[in-house]
Structure 1
Amino acid sequence: MSLPLEGLSAIVTGAGRGLGRAEALELARLGAAVVVNDYGRPGRDGSGEASAAPAEAVAAEIRAAGGRAVPHLGDVADYDSARDLVELAVSTYGKLDILVNNAGILRDRMIFAMSESEWDSVIRVHLKGHFNTTHFAAVHWRERFKSGEGTGQGEGHGPGKERGQGEGRGPVYGRIVNTSSEAFLAGSASQPNYAAAKGGIVGLTTSTALALAKYGVTANVICPRARTRMTEDVFAGFAEPEGGEVDPLAPEHVAPLVGYLASPAAARVNGQLLVVHGGMAAVVERPRVAAKFDAEKEVFTFEELDRTVGGYFAGRPAGETFAASEVLGLKRG
């Protein structure tokens, strides 16, 4: 019996540690050949000297288990480095099938104290980094489609041709899994840069899903909860398991969903946002209208708005923001 990802190749960014490492190992376990990307800087704020050691260690771990993997030392937020990353996958494995974007940094600060560089650096690594790799992967898949290469593995992706490009083309195979965060859904007071970047990643993903569907490519985004060096402060107050119990915040809880979304079995899952942790996966709906008010005449008066909109919020908890403080409950220890 073949493995779900046998014959497919993958890139996982930020795969030297934490979530990225767990995802790279899972894709390899499912049969994919993996390019393990990591810039290897020791600080979670992106500080320190770049090192190939983290990516090389994960690639070696995959090979020791019988899989195929090569390391890539590179900053995905650098346009040329992202191009080199995709080219490495294609030159090593003949093509790219799966892209998992996970690389990121943290530079937390309240909005009134945040510097321009703290804003720019986080937006650059998270949002531009996701764009760069997605762009070059999309170019690769579109060129394969236009050349007439079709795998026949796509399902429900729309017409199998591009205007002016001939008849009878089947879809290529492409999967993108991007990494957002509940910080964008529920707010995070000390992370305006991170929350903004993660919200942008959702918009990037849904736009990409619409643009690439006709080629046979899907794009989905996850909001994972995991205990890593990136979240050591966030989850410091959450109890760790004792007596051999599995940590519900272990990165290994997130990796299986990534493996599934990367597989042919998930062909009909496209443009979706999922929260995942501790043996739970939840599909998040797009925003829905909570209340609607109509003006008595053509234009609202101040008094009408105070009566309608103001009245609506007058009956809600004081200080309630756009989203609940926690989208899905998680008990503190």
Structure 2
Amino acid sequence: MENDAMLTTSPSTLENKPTGLKLFFTRLVQQRMLVLMSIPFVIWLIIFKYVPIWGWTIAFQDYQPGLKFSEQKWVGFKHFKILFTDETFSEQFLRAVRNTLAMSGINLILGFVTAITLALLLNEVKKMAFKRVVQTVSYLPHFISWVVAAGIIQTTLAPDGIINELLKWIGVIDKGQEYLFLGKAEWFWGIFGASSVWKDIGWNAIVYLAAISSIDPAQYEAAEMDGAGRLRRMWSITLPGIKPVIIVLLIMNIGYLMESGFEPQYLLGNGMNVDYSENIDIFVLKYGLQQFNFPLATAAGMFKTVVSFILLFAANNVAKRMGQDRLF
């Protein structure tokens, strides 16, 4: 009888639940403190991220700084065509796109592999004092600005720097000789990748360590009782446990493939390695601010943003089709 009563009353209870806009405003009132806390961030987002989108109109104009908006000459996709077809600009722009994708890909692969590996290894460390020291040392470079980091890298890789001295000491090069690391254009991508790993490996590993801490310890105990070693526990328990976090971060990072950075390329780049160090951001700076070609620079920046959106949605859709965790 009690079960029958529950069955008869449950439909009316469901009907009384708010839906649609009523449910939205109900939750808004319930979570009003979170909404109030998010208002400053929303204001910042609108002012610094959405309002500047108005400047994209410059890409479709022969923009003249002294003229009003209504007096500008509209030229359609002229500047986009120049980026890809003009002999003067297309070669440099396509080279910048190549460098951007190459450095982003290197950073993506190395960043994921090294951060996950460090998190797995730290999870196996039993001495907490040693674990804390390693964590502190590994994520400390993240808080160093790229200006300081670039100075350290340049000093380390200088002809009289520690790397050349070490190579002489182990006999790789003869005394009186040295490598000009930042003078070899084809070496720049590797230097950038190694520098990014050194600077961000500890910081990136924090997310995976947090995900590992949520795994039920009983799974490790059961696997150990079954005779599974450390490598087997890593492969069968830890990696599957953090798989959703890995996939979500991978999707987000694929959306940033057109964002290889600005500071390291600008600070470590020079005339000898410009063919491999100049990315889209530096291309925009060079033609937008240094040569005052605002429409061309805006078109290049707009192209980068549109491609980033396409990559993000494509990666999310692939994850959805594969039945994996996704952003939306």
Instruction: Report the TM-score when normalising by structure 2.
Output: 0.25
More strand by share: 1
Greater Cα radius of gyration, structure 1 or 2:
2
Higher RCO, 1 or 2 (CA under 8 Å, sep at least 6)? 2
